[in-house]
Structure formats: structure tokens, C-alpha cells
Structure 1
Amino acid sequence: MMLSFFRQPYPLSELTLSRTLVLSVLFGVIIAFTLIVFQPFGSYNWHDPSKNLILAGYGLVAAVSVFLNFYALRRLLPTLFVEARWTVAKEIIWNLAHFGTAGFLCTAYGAAVKVMPFSLAQISYMTMIAFFMGLVPAVLLVLINYVFMLQRYKPLTPLPHKEPAPPLATPAQDLLLTSENEKDALTLPAHNLLFIEADDNYCTVVYLEQGSVHKKLLRTSLSRLESQTSALNIVRCHRSYLVNLDKVESVSGNAQGYRLHFPHTPGTVPVARASSGVVKAAFAPI
């Protein structure tokens, strides 16, 4: 049961450079304040004219450690940080790995300012301190956020059509989807479109024809096709998907967000968390 929980999907945070810098500075300030004011781990027995300045330096080290783990590492190892494979366990491990980095950097800094030796034993000791300081908060915050995200992305079901307003996508409307070179094109009734998926320089149009699912590959951008469908109930729910909301059968959800289910298709379409409001506007909680 517990192992199953740790395998549950977990949202992978999207930290921009600016947000990471703010987070790093904030974390560093908190660490520096804690060390100077409360002086834990026996530092209150240590006396030095530059004591507060040296302790504040550990705040700078903590800020650098946060930046390395939450931004630089993800850019260096992008294949490890894929949301489709991200789980509760990976999030906890990633957060705890930060304390290993912090332990090493703190030891290197302590040796540089001549307050501790640079040795494997000292690195292990500093890592252990950082680990035990952060273990409970790291795990607890992940669990709290997981429960919050589950509540936020509860399964949804289509709202009944309101009368007398006509549906936004009707059989009388046709779509003309053209490629970049305008040589390849696809014309179909708007109500037959399920979704459009982008992959590099190509888009796959998934649609119904005589009750069967068909696919058409076009060399074009998703933005171009979006402009060709802007008047319909077809919306961008993800950087790689346009969907026809009239064709959604149901909406499932987990901590990573919503997923749209379409008729006659085994897979699902992800909804970006930034676009969840569009989906909520079209569907009601079960």
C-alpha cells in the first residue's frame, strides 16, 4: 500500500530562472537568520570577531545549493526530469538530494574560512545535519502538496448543454486545416475533430469519420492550426494539444493535473495546469 502511494504521479514544478533566483535568495536569508539568531549545533559556544559574517556566509552557500539543485541540475540532466515519469518518491528523493549538495558545499565553505577541516568525515557530518534538519519538512510538504493537488484536480464530467444556446461546434461548420506549404490540407466537419497533437514540426489531426478514428499528418505548427480553428469550441489545453471540448467524454485527474478522454481512443490528452481553468469552465465536478 505504502509502495503504491510513492509510485503515484506527482507534478514536476516549472521553475524559471527568475523564480529560482528568488527562491534561492529567500532560502539563503532564512538559513542565515536562523544561524545568527538561534546559533544551533553548538555555534553559540564558538567565539570569533567575524562570527556573524561567517554564519551569514552559510546562508549564501545554502542559496547556491538551492540554485544548483532546482535549476542547474535540471538543465544539465533533462532526461531525468520528465513529468510523465515523475512520482511522489522521486520528488522526495530530489528534495533530499539537495541536502547532500548542501553538506558538501558547507564543508568546502567551512574549510575556506578555516572553521572546519575538509574531509570525508566532515562532509558526512554536515550532510547528516542538513538531512535531519530537512527530512521532516521535505516529506511533509510533498505529502501536503500531493493531497492539495488531488483535491484541485478531481475528475470532471461534461455539463449539460444549455438551451436555447446552440452548441459552439455544429455539423454545418467545416474546418480547413492546411500545412505550411499549403499543398497538404484536410477538410472535415468541425464536430468530427477530436484533437490535434504537435510533435516537432508536424501535427497529427485525430478525427472521426463514419464512426472510426482517423489520423492525418500535416507539416505545420500547432499555432498555425490554432488560428484556423479560433472561431470554434476548440481550445489549446497544452503546449502540444488542441482539443475539441464538445467531444470530450470525461475528464480524469491526479496530482499532475487533468487528462481528457475521447471516444474510440485508448490514450488521453494532458491538460497543462495553467489551462485547467478552461477545462473547469466547460465541465462540472462529478
Structure 2
Amino acid sequence: MSLRQTPFPKSSLRSFLNVISGISLTIVFILVVFQPFGTSNFDHPNKFWILMGYGVITFFSGLFFYLLIYTITSDTRLDRWSVLDEVLFLFGIILICQIGCYFYWAGMFVGRLDWSQFLYFFKIASLISLVPVSVYLLFIYQKYKEVKFVSGNKIPIEYSEPEKEEQHLTIYGAGKNEKIIIAPENLFLVKSEDNYVILFLRENGKIIKRMMRNTLSEIEQQIGSSFFRCHRSFIINPAKIAEIEGNITNTKIGLTDIDTKIPVSRSMVEKAKMFVLQ
């Protein structure tokens, strides 16, 4: 599957703030502790405060770009945010942060702008960011490469009993035309991914994954009480429980035909065990 077709759950503002804060603090830590790129030769009574400024610039530059993208991007595009979109977004973030840090450096140390210095600054910053960004992109591609967008299609229904033919679930996403119709027994698992959910469904005897923009709480209301929210990030079909393992502090559920072990909140352990005994 191409990067354009591979979905990616666009981060909420809260999640992005956590990420950009971590990146900014990491930059400050590296500059203050290891003092690379000649900063060890820089002598100033407020040296550490000045170096911390790079972290501040990175934080606000990243936040500005995030808010800009969310403002100019349509809801339809956000509903179908892909790995390719995330790649472009990340490189945009890197570019904006590099420009901001260069202006900060030029203002603090040089007092003027110079294109040759900017290109050198850009080259160094790009080389530093290339490895972690590449590793991150490879990780998210591998994680979501088997997931597809929900597009209003009806998943083929596999019934074993004639009287069940009229039963079905209609699950709606937050985006326009985001809808999926499925037999309850073909919905195995719903997993939260920030402002998105991934549905684990059975189609033609195989488990497939579909992503839509919505919260897990909203999906829980739509599919009804016959499903079990065992964890703040997971809803399972109790009829598909194959096993329960672990102790009360680390209980996990195994589902039929799904390799992933599902964590169980401590308050839900006894209820989960009751489903197995039924």
C-alpha cells in the first residue's frame, strides 16, 4: 500500500503539545549538557538561559505550524489523513523550527542575516533530524500499513443462522460519508488512536482493519451494551474472547483470530472473567 493510501491518526492538540514539549526539552538537554557545535566555547553569564531559548523557539514554531495546518486543512482531508500527509507535515515542522532557530541564533550571536550561514545551519539541523524522523516514519508506516480508511462501504456479512440476517450495526465516523455497516458478530475489536478509532472486522474469513475519525466513547454509544469496554482504549466483542491471562494488575485478553493481547483495566477484571465463564 502506498503512503498516500495508508491512513494515519492525526494528532490532537493535546498529543501534539506533549510531543513538541518533549522535543523542545530534548533540544535544551543536548545543548546544555553536551554543548555541541561550538557552544562549549561560548562564554556568557546567561549562557544556559540563551541555550534554553532554542527549546522555546522550537516549541512555539511547531505550535504555530500545527495551528496553521489545522486552520487551512479541510475536515475532509483531516478525516483521511495519511502517512504521506504526516511526512509532509513533519518536514514542514522541521523547516519552520529551523528557520525560527536560525533567526534566534543570528539575532543573539551575529546581529545580521547571512544566506551562506543559513544554508550551513539548515544542513546541520537537517542531518541531526534525518535519522530520528526516518525511524519514526518507518515505524508508523509498519504500524498502519494494513489499515484502510472507512469509506461508507458495507462489509460483507457472514451469517451462520438465518434469523440473524436482519441484524446489523451501522457505525458512523465524525467525517462526511464515514459509515460502515456490519453484522455484530463480525466486529471483533475497536481500538482508540487519539481522535480516531481502528475497527477490527471479519471479511471473507479474514481480519481487516478500518480507520475512522471518532472517539471511543462515541463508538461505544453507537454499538450498544453487548460490547465490552475493557480498557480506556479498547472495546471488545465478548463473544470473541479466547483466553484471559495475567494477574489483577496485568490482565490481558486474547481474542479469536487476533494476535494482539488486549489490556484490561483493574476495575474490569472480574467482569471480563465472567464473560469467559458464561
Query: TM-score range with shorter-chain normalisation?
Result: 0.5 to 0.7
Q: What does the per-residue CA deviation read over 1:143-166, in whole Å, with 9 as the maximum and x for residues that have no partner?
A: 11221234688xx997876xxxx9
TM-score (norm 1): 0.56
CA RMSD, Structure 1 to Structure 2 (Å): 4.4
Residue type of the partner of 1:117?
Answer: R
CA–CA distance in 2 between the matches of 1:81 and 1:102? 27
Q: 1:53 to 1:73 in 2, by over 3 A?
A: same
Matches for 1:39-118 after TM superposition, within 5 Å: 39-69=35-65, 71-79=66-74, 82-83=77-78, 86-115=81-110, 117-118=112-113
CA–CA distance in 2 between the matches of 1:85 and 1:152? 12
Q: 1:22 to 1:48 in 2, by over 3 A?
A: same
Task: Give unpaired runs (5+ residues) of structure 2.
Answer: 149-154, 204-209, 220-232, 241-255, 259-278
Task: Give unpaired runs (5+ residues) of structure 1.
Answer: 172-190, 193-232, 263-268
CA–CA distance in 2 between the matches of 1:34 and 1:42? 13
**C-alpha contact 2:61 2:100 (8 A) present in aligned 1:** yes
Q: 1:126 to 1:157 in 2, by over 3 A?
A: farther
Q: Report whether the alignment pairs 1:245 with 2:182.
A: yes
% identical equivalent positions = 22
**C-alpha contact 2:186 2:202 (8 A) present in aligned 1:** yes
Cα deviation for residue 279 of structure 1 reads 7.3
Rg larger for: 1
**Corresponding residue of 1:27:** 23
Counting matched residue pairs gives 209
**Corresponding residue of 2:268:** none
Q: 1:247 to 1:28 in 2, by over 3 A?
A: closer
SS at match of 2:183: helix
Q: 1:77 to 1:260 in 2, by over 3 A?
A: farther
TM-score (norm 2): 0.57
CA–CA distance in 1 between the matches of 2:89 and 2:52? 26
CA–CA distance in 1 between the matches of 2:40 and 2:104? 19
SS at match of 1:285: coil
